[in-house]
Structure 1
């Protein structure tokens, strides 16, 4: 395992701890929504706008160079279109999962609905795990900020998935997500995926994150949760600027 970034392994373990501990954190996703979940959402959104969105521009140039003058050049702003596609795809999957009836016995959706929904988040976590070791962070502090923002995001999405899938999430779902985050990291240790594929993945991820945060915040927002959201965003924005100044 020569060349492994051991700090990234430490953060992967941290992500795993977040997924397993979410079961024991009693944070309400219903009205009134826990301010902590809103603070986590604000932190994640700030990171997306300050870090991931500028990355889309970088990967746009990579994809344009790969596409050249082929017919795919028609689509132009590839990464932003892919971010939109990611947002729409995760919105569609979430709406579909919630529209399916619950079992009268367990209160959970059917196994097929659960598997499709959790598989989309498997991909989500796979990308995040890969980026943790392969993203070109400017420093260890920059990597730590990536971990902090996305750990907050995991804490919030875990509660939402548990709300939708009940016991299925506790019994199986969190294991899927833990496997995904570790697998993504392991792929990054062994292989370097082509930058075009990484650009596509980051774009879809950015759109998915925006959707998954805002759909929960806008559902039952109030002044208290807004202030918590604002606080989380301000903290991450400040830390981002601080890290960049080092």
Structure 2
């Protein structure tokens, strides 16, 4: 997708609004639901600090991404002049690895859907919008490497997750724990990397993204 300068600013802000809505309207409520399920099925979680186990998993995801960002930044400072292509390659594959695992989780969760109804249509529309913004953001940062390799890994990973879901039966709280880890990671990623600065952002585009995506995710 190609934009003029004003259109690009508006789309970046719109994408940021979609991501913010996705994290707070869709992901965090699911973390709370998983915490309730874990407390019912794992009785030793009750009565002490581990009763917040799923939230701790989400926190560990946030800490993981922050640590990863700091290590990459430190590597750029030390080796940017010596081997910039190596650092860029490591960053690219780290991004693709993270989002491939994330897409596998989405493919796995599709196996929970048994009936084709309105909620499935809303799921399709909401996550199509979410994946389009992810796709644009990754291509913006990695350009040709994403076109040649990254997009195929991301597309194929959804089918891998679906196949795994057809042949395995993990406990619901285990899948929720993986989702909680991704939730913490996505929270920091969106706030730190996806939200545009005041000069680069467009308020109208951001608000349209937040409102439209919030309505879609709330209806799932």
TM-score after normalising by structure 1: 0.70
Equivalents in 2 of 1:27, 1:212: separation in Å?
24
**1:130-149 matches, cutoff 5 A:** 130-134=108-112, 140-149=117-126
In structure 2, runs of 5+ residues without a counterpart are: none
Equivalents in 2 of 1:70, 1:55: separation in Å?
18
- Deviations for 1:7-28, whole angstroms, at most 9, x for unmatched residues? xxxxxxxxxxxxxxxxxx2359
Equivalents in 2 of 1:209, 1:143: separation in Å?
23
**1:1-246 matches, cutoff 5 A:** 25-26=1-2, 34-69=9-44, 74-97=49-72, 100-101=75-76, 109-134=87-112, 140-222=117-199, 225-240=202-217, 243=219
Question: 1:198: how far off?
Answer: 0.7
In structure 1, runs of 5+ residues without a counterpart are: 1-24
Judged with a 3 Å threshold, the aligned counterparts in structure 2 of structure 1 residues 69 and 86 are, in CA distance, closer, same or farther, namely same
Equivalents in 1 of 2:29, 2:210: separation in Å?
17
Question: 1:216: how far off?
Answer: 3.0
Counterpart contact for 1:108–1:168, Cα < 8 Å: no
Moved more, 194-203 or 161-170: 161-170
Equivalents in 1 of 2:68, 2:6: separation in Å?
23
Equivalents in 1 of 2:119, 2:136: separation in Å?
27
Counterpart contact for 1:33–1:220, Cα < 8 Å: no
Equivalents in 2 of 1:240, 1:164: separation in Å?
27
Counterpart contact for 2:45–2:53, Cα < 8 Å: no
Moved more, 173-182 or 35-44: 35-44
Equivalents in 2 of 1:239, 1:218: separation in Å?
20
Q: Which has the higher contact order (CA 8 A, sep 6+)?
A: 2
Higher helix share: 2
Equivalents in 1 of 2:47, 2:157: separation in Å?
31
Counterpart contact for 1:27–1:37, Cα < 8 Å: no
Question: 1:203: how far off?
Answer: 0.8
